Chain A
Amino acid sequence: KAGVTQTPRYLIKTRGQQVTLSCSPISGHRSVSWYQQTPGQGLQFLFEYFSETQRNKGNFPGRFSGRQFSNSRSEMNVSTLELGDSALYLCASSTGQAWANEKLFFGSGTQLSVL
């Protein structure tokens, strides 16, 4: 079974641009969560999608958005990039149906650098 796939692996953008990151979950998983990881703030939860609906949201500005498609693949978008958006963006998948005792499967992440 293929793992969680994130593309691209590395990305360099300039301030003011926008970026779209992609995540393909494990086959059969319907929940995708996104996290931002920086040295200063650690791992921060962005949002979670389940069956194309946002089920949970972290405390990030509206510049951060996401969506999920019918095949469970998910994208997140960051508009008007700021230097502080430089981070490792991780997505994680799970079945999402018995969430209380579920574990997350993470992708390798997208390392975003904003210049």
Chain B
Amino acid sequence: SQQGEEDPQALSIQEGENATMNCSYKTSINNLQWYRQNSGRGLVHLILIRSNEREKHSGRLRVTLDTSKKSSSLLITASRAADTASYFCAPHTGTASKLTFGTGTRLQVTL
């Protein structure tokens, strides 16, 4: 498996604004997953996008995948204070039964 690299490392926005974070990876993937982690807690799965998909929506989340550029982006629309968390991407090659994570993007949403 391989590790994704999230960018930016930290992001601070005001409530109501949109937040965009990016993920880059190195080799071909089977799918790419995004997770959220509130401080000191476990990760929560947000969305999985397969390699043959280009865009996926879930509530206020929109994920895009560009396999030619080996990159993905996560957009959170109309951010809320409760969205404050770290966000991780996990590209999966499909050949190993494990996921590896990058260092994440720390999102701070202020009132």
Residues on A close to B: CB < 8 A?
4, 6, 31, 33, 35, 42-43, 45, 48, 50, 55-56, 58, 88, 90, 92, 96, 99-101, 103-109, 111
Q: Known interface pairs A101-B30, A101-B48. Does A55 touch B97 (Cβ–Cβ under 8 Å)?
A: yes
Task: Give 8 CB contacts A-B under 8 Å.
Answer: A6-B42, A42-B101, A56-B97, A58-B98, A88-B40, A101-B48, A101-B50, A109-B41
Check B41 against A101 for contact (C-beta < 8 Å).
Answer: no
Q: Please give, as numbers and ranges, the residues of chain A lying within 8 Å of B98 by CB-CB distance.
A: 33, 45, 48, 56, 58
Binds A, one of B19-27, B73-81, B88-96: B88-96
Check B45 against A43 for contact (C-beta < 8 Å).
Answer: no
* CA A105 to CA B50, docked complex, whole Å: 19
* CA A2 to CA B99, docked complex, whole Å: 23
Min CB–CB distance B100 → chain A (angstroms): 6
Check B97 against A104 for contact (C-beta < 8 Å).
Answer: no
Q: Please give, as numbers and ranges, the residues of chain A lying within 8 Å of B45 by CB-CB distance.
A: 103-105
Interface presence of B43 (CB below 8 A): yes
Min CB–CB distance B88 → chain A (angstroms): 7
Q: Please give, as numbers and ranges, the residues of chain B lying within 8 Å of A109 by CB-CB distance.
A: 40-42
Q: Pick from A4, A99, A106, A111: contact of B40, CB below 8 A.
A: A111
Q: Please give, as numbers and ranges, the residues of chain A lying within 8 Å of B100 by CB-CB distance.
A: 43, 45
Check A108 against B42 for contact (C-beta < 8 Å).
Answer: yes
Q: Please give, as numbers and ranges, the residues of chain B lying within 8 Å of A108 by CB-CB distance.
A: 41-42
Interface presence of B31 (CB below 8 A): yes
Q: Please give, as numbers and ranges, the residues of chain B lying within 8 Å of A106 by CB-CB distance.
A: 35, 42-44
Residue of A nearest to B48 (CB): A103
Check B40 against A43 for contact (C-beta < 8 Å).
Answer: no
